[in-house]
Amino acid sequence: MANKTRELAKSGKGKTGSGGEKLKTKPGRQGKHGPKKSAAEKTVSVSKKVHAVLEEKPFLLEALAQDYANLSEVARQLQKQTGGTVVAVRAAIKRYSSSKISFQRAEEKKVLALLRQSTLTLSTKVGMMVVERTPLTEQKAAQVLIKARAWAKGPSGMSLAVDEEHWDELNRLFSPTEIIASYHDLVALTLVSPPGIVSSPGFVAILTSRLAREGVNLREFWSAYNDTVMLFDKDDALKAYTLLTGMT
């Protein structure tokens, strides 16, 4: 019997008192759907949810960085999605955004300093053609690449920008079934930047986010080493030029 008691004690089953009576063990705290989370676990859970939302909505971080958004109001809105208290959500936003915003501001300063050393040129009367990519169209495109202002190819298509004086030549090369889209009377803005722009994170993001905030549609974008070529419709070109001039 003594041996049996010792075995039960080792296994954790049937704990006994000094008189051999079975003692009741106090169960762990149980919630409606299982063990309740500790306060620390809840904080970690809320933080993870807040971080996930901010990763999906980077514009919130930018708004906080530029003081366009109120931290407490953002916390109240995110609290509906993440649970937890507004105070916990606010703290999670502050922890996450402070490190992200400081990094973004440092990188933005580097990019803006390089942009101030860049040259910007404007060219009018530019046409762009988008054609399907096949071995035959690649051969045809090779005949005009030397005259192209910019060009790029992807898995299924190629885009070529030329001055309008070369448009007829480009148009004769491709059959209507090979042409996906064509645009006329566009404006090209070309940035030539210092080589350091190639290794600077956020260069494209800063350009495109500034243009988007002004409601400017970027028709096409090419980058080759430290050269950046952007195409705009005439209606958007002046706004884009004014904005980029202010950055260079």
Q: For 96-134, b where at least 16 C-beta lie within 10 A, e where not — what string?
A: bbeebeeebeebbebbeebbeebebeeeeebbbbbbebe
pLDDT (tens digit, 9 = 90+) per residue, 218-245?
999 998 888 999 999 999 999 999 988 8
At position 222, the amino acid (one-letter code) is: W
pLDDT band at 247 (very low <50, low <70, confident <90, very high): confident
The values of phi and psi at residue 22, to 5°, are -75, 130
Q: In this model, does residue 101 exceed pLDDT 90?
A: no
* CATH number belonging to domain 119-247: 3.30.2130.10
Quote the pTM value: 0.62
pLDDT band at 8 (very low <50, low <70, confident <90, very high): very low
In order, the DSSP letters of 35-97 are EPPPHHHHHHHHHHHHHHHHHH-HHHHHHHHTT-S-HHHHHHHHHHHH-S-HHHHHHHHHHHH
pLDDT (tens digit, 9 = 90+) per residue, 21-58?
555 555 555 555 555 555 444 556 888 888 888 888 87
**Average model confidence (pLDDT) across the chain:** 81
Return d(Cα 66, Cα 46) in angstroms, integer. Answer: 25
Q: Whose CA is closest to 174, among 192, 157, 196?
A: 157
Domain residue ranges of the chain, discontinuous segments joined by +: 38-105, 119-247
9 vs 181 pLDDT, higher one: 181
Q: Which two tokens stand for residue 12?
A: 């954790």
